[in-house]
Structure 1
Amino acid sequence: MLGGVGLETEKPWLALYPGETAKNVYYKAETLPQLLRNAAKEYPKHKAIHFMGKELTFKQTFEKASNLAAYLQEIGITKGDRVAVMLPNIPQTVISFYAIMLAGAIVVPVNPLYKEREIEFILNDSGAKAIITLDILYNRVKSVQEMTSVEQILVTSISEFLPFPKNLFYPFIQKKEYGYIPSVKHEGNTHLLKNIWSLPTADLKEVSIDFEEDLAIIQYTGGTTGFPKGVMLTHQNLVANTSMCRQWLYKLEKGKEKLLAIMPLFHVYGMMTVLVLSVMEIYQMILLPKFDATTALKTIEKQKPTVFPGAPTIYIGLLNHPDINKYDLSSIDAAISGSAPLPKEIIDRFEEKTGGKLVEGYGLTEASPVTHVNFVWDHEIVKGSIGVPWPGTDAAVFSPETGEELPHGEIGELAVKGPQVMKGYWNNPDETELVLKDGWLYTGDLCYMDERGYFYIVDRKKDTIIASGFNIYPREVEEVLYEHPAVQEAAVVGVKDSYRGETVKAFIVLKEGAQTSEDELNKYMRERIASFKVPRIYEFRKELPKSAIGKILRRELKENGTEEGR
């Protein structure tokens, strides 16, 4: 049965939709593990995963996931239990994601870069009963186990899915990078995945899952507003959002695309665009465990991915690689950028280099995560805009003061509504009530909509700088800085100022070999934006702090950049 979600009222953006894209979202009420089961049955020999030269078919992926699921059930994992996954982009991540849900449990993704304190918080808050992690991270997890509800630790190694002879050399790479070769034994409550897969296959008990109500994942936000909050996403949330993506990318062909997986799979953006979309549409996932520009360029040239979800910092890193002109990137047809504002200059350079389309989208973890995207084909890209709402998604701009919906062109808080909107925050009804109101998810982002229905993010409500009574939006200032030929990355924050209240500070990373000065940038900016928006302070750095998905951490810059304005 097809489930369709329509819009309550006609919105101007619907008139822009190409004929190939429905105005509503349509999807089958099939759970995420059912999608993998379907793929294995209908396309058993189709390549599902490519990892450093090793490949797995959909049938092999499903079989390994089923074996692991049965083992999880044997060691006490039952329906509704939470199982954490603390892995980079490797085949075991894909397998574990589906295995946990096949067992009837809920996935709790954990950033493998997290330290003990962060791991302990997420394991405790989620009540995770087990965790799947890397051998090199085992000691970190083991050190906090007694302070958590974790009973079982399942361990794997990157080398397990490397082809010969890379699998033989990998331990020596570990020793060089970490100073030792990890050795974890399969005993007690510690289990090795390689041992599990060598055991006789246990019977997997079928678990009934409610498509609309049962949780698929609890995804923790980055904690930019205090402690991280666990976002509860159901099977319907993720299937609906992925179906919107499929309808949007209507020129892509089922079973014929290759998807470059640089975005981390432990983040919901990578999860939706890689783990779920690839299985739903029978795409091959080309996994890279971390972003390295040289490796990424070589992989694109050799493996020829056609779809490339990413973040601005990833595209910037590739385009500023000194040898980029040596590589053929022409296989890329479509790239959708999320997680942070995409500078206009980067769009132009990327499209010139690849011949494909790079468009900016918008989303948040609480919406599984995508709500808006620019049109990929058959429309001119409206640069600077996050695009229009996806099929079946409603959006509006509300006044933070009065709560009333604002007309075109006026800045207010963006709110969204649709089947991808979360169920709420895990064990946090007070925070849930603050953002979910009358069916609307209030995003905390300031934006406006033009008369055609395109939306423009001005900034986070909490990032707005108020200087001498004027509202200054960091994104607007950053866009101008990115246009300067010497600037590779820029971030703007407000710092305390005894006269203006706040003033503008810019953090700058220069392109390799480029030079500029504070005076030159000041003159450049004053020719392009109002004087009250021009940064009063410039700080040049070799790099900017970023989250695991490449989002520049303005909060960290602000906390460490409290120098008063001049």
Structure 2
Amino acid sequence: MTKPWLAEYPDEIPGKLTLPEKPLHSFLTEAAEMYGSKSAIHFMGKELTYHEVYESALKFAHYLRGLGIERGDRVAIMLPNTPQSVIAYYGVLYAGGVVVQTNPLYTEREIEYQMKDSGAKVILTLDILYPRVSKVMGATDLQHIIVTAIKEYLPFPKNMIYPFIQKKQYGIVVKVEPSEQNHLFKEIMASPAAEPIPGEFDFENDIALLQYTGGTTGFPKGVMLTHKNLVANASMCDAWLYKCKKGEEKILGILPFFHVYGMTAVMILSIMQGYKMILLPKFDVETTLKTIQKQKPTLFPGAPTIYIGILNHPDLKKYDLSSIDSCLSGSAPLPVEVQQEFEEVTGGKLVEGYGLTESSPVTHANFLWDKERIKGSIGLPWPSTDSAVLSLETGEPLPVKEIGEIAVKGPQVMKGYWNRPEETEQTLKDGWLLTGDLGYMDERGYFYVVDRKKDMIIAGGFNIYPREIEEVLYEHPSIQEVVAAGVPDPYRGETVKAYVVLKEGKSLTEKELDEFARKYLAAYKVPKIYEFRKELPKTAVGKILRRALVDEERKKVEEEQKLS
């Protein structure tokens, strides 16, 4: 197969990478040797050097070994972006274990499902989340809970004030006493310095991470990502960011590390390249703006909702965001208007990338520098990555500009789904990862996503792609966020509904919006229903949950049918 995209690459980006065949955690060992006294993490005023992170990770690894964790055992980390989340991640790997990233927003039911499915023996979580975890412990393989608190890595006097803020915010203060089952992270960190742990290692096959998919299309599945997968994707990311200087960049860590994009594009890349991570435990627009002005990050990986939130802040002009040089947007389609406005505000570059949990996650991106901007494209395949558009009928590669399913192949593609051989077989075909996304490729190798295979709306026999409708509606100056979805319709099978969030202080009627849409969309694509909302349901990383809205509509129809 030809790879037309390679002709588009600037000289600085190689078409194929030679991967360093070493464990993911070895990059922290090297960073501690090379940048020992340099700041690895900034967290709300507290700084940790590379040497401190390395030493702390080794202490955590030894403690896990003492709890009986052996090569291949699963250890869950249920934390927001804090120094503990980085220390524990590498500590699990040093111990030979497999990290299970767990969303701190999970309910008891979701925690129980993930712990059962992964077979995790140990979990590290926050004090305020302890009650939730301890309630489900008996129904899982969990034997130990390690508890930490945000205040443990806050500078004075923030560490003294924080418990009061926490009580006000969450209404609880949790004090956990150490026991055979309960362990305190701060006590582990107070133990003497530890030596590296020798052990066998298989670059190709050893799993570093079980990353659960969002579960928007059924039960979440554990994606098995090996050391090779993650080393490969972070190496590709580094190759793409060819103007970034090793040991010098500062990267803003808002994207949660329990999501694969934040984990790879912020944490793993930073450790691999000796960057400084500026961590924020959650996305708050004002805190983010103040942090950018004070800490001056140069790299800002994000999601469209994060950039939209910043652009719509009423005091945006008061802040200096000029340190930002490069932003790679993922997790959801990036509206062109958002891209242009953000670049005007910061003077930096913002481009769209593409990927999925099953590919560690990035497979495609637009160029940040030295190349023209291709409107509406997810970009080109990354180095060492192959991509094709396959026919939905035959599975064969399609000619340029024909719509089919996007497939990818490369060293970042998962080993498979944890304990789900049948689903692995359906998704991995002859080395190709079937993404479930519909799209096409142009003559130069630029790829375009038209929509999720599952999200395509079929109304009156027409195939309608929600993304196309959203792109048009985003151009309206009063709209902050929008999502289009197919909802049940007795006549057309499905019809198009648009859920709209307006910018603060703006007003818009259904009639005005309908007139606007009709100027740019064929009649059959124009939404038949508009619903204005204050907010839209989202995942932790800011991806709008279209499925949740569709399910809502289905339930409404079912209720109406019961009553009639």
TM-score, normalized by the shorter chain, greater than 0.5: yes
What is the one-letter code of the residue matched to 1:284?
K
Matching of residue 168 in structure 1 with residue 160 in structure 2: yes
The corresponding residue for 1:83 is 75
- Deviant stretches of 4+, over 6 Å: none
How far apart in 1 are the matches of 2:28 and 2:194? 19
Deviation, 1:149, is 0.2
Report the equivalent of 1:206: 198
Partner of 1:419: 411
Task: Please list the CA deviations of residues 289-348 of structure 1 after superposition, one character each: whole Å capped at 9, or x if unmatched.
Answer: 000000000000110000000000000000001111110101011000000000000000
Question: What amino acid is the match of 2:347?
Answer: G
The 3-state SS of whatever aligns with 1:546 is coil
Deviation (angstroms), 1:507:
0.1
Q: Measure, in 2, the Cα distance between the counterparts of 1:45 and 1:390.
A: 33
Alignment of 1:321 with 2:313, yes or no, is yes
2:412 equivalent to 1:435: no
Q: In structure 1, what is the Cα distance between the partners aligned to 2:392 and 2:360? A: 24
**1:204: Cα distance to partner?**
4.7
Where 1:83 maps in the other structure, the secondary structure is: strand
Uncovered stretches (5+) of structure 1, i.e. residues with no partner = 1-8
Give the distance between the partners of 1:437 and 1:170, measured in 2 at CA: 51
Among residues 26, 29, 35, which one is paired with 1:37 in the alignment?
29
The answer to whether the 8 A contact 1:186-1:195 is kept is: no
- 2:404 is aligned with 1:409: no
1:450 to 2:442 alignment? yes
Whole-angstrom CA distance in 2 between matches of 1:339 and 1:523: 30
- Cα displacement string for residues 517-547 of structure 1 (whole angstroms, at most 9, x for unaligned residues): 0000000010111010000000000000000
Classify the secondary structure of the residue corresponding to 1:433.
helix
Q: Deviations over 1:177-227 (max 9, x none)?
A: 121221011222210010111123455532222111100000000112211
The Cα offsets for residues 66-87 of structure 1, whole Å up to 9 and x where unpaired, read as 0111111011111110000000
Deviations 1:390-429 (A, max 9, x none): 0000000001112111000000000000000000000000
Q: Say if 1:102 and 1:207, in contact at 8 Å, map to a contact too.
A: no
Report what 2:491 is aligned to: 499
More displaced stretch, 438-447 vs 199-208? 199-208
Structure 1 equivalent of residue 282 of structure 2: 290
Q: Deviations over 1:8-44 (max 9, x none)?
A: x431111000000001122211211111000001110
Secondary structure of the 2:7 match is helix
Partner of 2:229: 237
78-87 vs 378-387, which moves further: 378-387
Matches within 5 A, 1:181-196: 181-196=173-188
Match of 1:508 in 2: 500
Matches within 5 A, 1:201-280: 201-280=193-272
Offset from partner CA, 1:211-265 (integer Å, 9 cap, x none): 1110000000011221110000000000001100000000000011000000000
- Alpha-carbon distance between aligned partners in 1 of 2:444 and 2:2, rounded to the nearest angstrom: 12
Letter in 2 for 1:396: A
Matched residue, 2:131: 139
Report SS of the residue matched to 2:531.
strand
Q: Find the partner of 1:463 among 450, 455, 458.
A: 455
> How big is each residue's C-alpha offset from its partner over 1:363-411, in whole Å with a ceiling of 9 and x where there is no partner?
0000000000001101112121000000000000001112111000000
CA offset digits 1:450-501 (Å, max 9, x no partner): 1111100000001000111110000000000000010000000001111111
State the secondary structure of the residue aligned to 2:99.
strand
- Larger mean CA deviation between 261-270 and 186-195 belongs to 186-195
Percent of residue pairs bearing the same amino acid type: 64
Contact 2:474 2:480 in 1 (8 A): yes
**In the alignment, which residue of structure 2 is the partner of 1:489?**
481
The 1-side partners of 2:260 and 2:446 are apart by 24
| 1:48 maps to 2:40 | yes
Distance 1:284 1:197 in 2: 22
Instruction: Map residues 390-405 of structure 1 onto 2, 5 A cutoff.
Output: 390-405=382-397
In 2, Cα distance between equivalents of 1:33 and 1:348: 38
CA distance in 2 between partners of 1:500 and 1:10 (Å)? 41
Letter in 2 for 1:285: M
Aligned counterpart in structure 1 of residue 363 of structure 2, from 358, 366, 371: 371
**What runs of 5+ residues in structure 2 fail to find an aligned partner?**
558-564
Q: Distance in 1 between matches of 2:192 and 2:250?
A: 33
SS in 2 for 1:462: coil
- Assess if the C-alpha contact under 8 Å between 1:79 and 1:105 holds in 2: yes
Q: Which residue of 2 aligns with 1:129?
A: 121
User: Are the aligned partners of 2:55 and 2:193 in contact in 1 as well (CA < 8 Å)?
Assistant: no
Task: Give distance in 2, aligned partners of 1:98 and 1:556.
Answer: 34
Tell me whether 184-193 or 143-152 shows the greater mean CA deviation. 184-193
User: What code does the residue aligned with 1:96 have?
Assistant: A
Match for 2:500: what amino acid?
I
CA contact (8 A) 1:86 1:112 kept: yes
Among 327, 330, 336, the alignment partner of 1:338 is: 330
Aligned twin of 2:541: 549
Q: Hey, what's the Cα distance between the residues in 2 that align with 1:204 and 1:184?
A: 30
Which secondary structure does the structure 1 equivalent of 2:433 belong to?
Answer: strand
Q: Is the 8 A contact 1:373 1:390 kept in 2?
A: yes
Identify the match of residue 105 of structure 1 among 93, 97, 110.
97
Q: Distance in 2 between matches of 1:239 and 1:26?
A: 11
Find the aligned partners of 1:293 and 1:381 in 2 and give their Cα distance: 28
C-alpha separation between the residues in 2 aligned to 1:543 and 1:253?
39
Q: Tell me the secondary structure at the aligned position of residue 25 of structure 2.
A: helix
How far apart, CA to CA, are the structure 2 residues paired with 1:203 and 1:499?
A: 69
Match of 1:389 in 2: 381
Q: Is the 8 A contact 1:26 1:243 kept in 2?
A: no
3-state SS of 2:491 partner:
coil
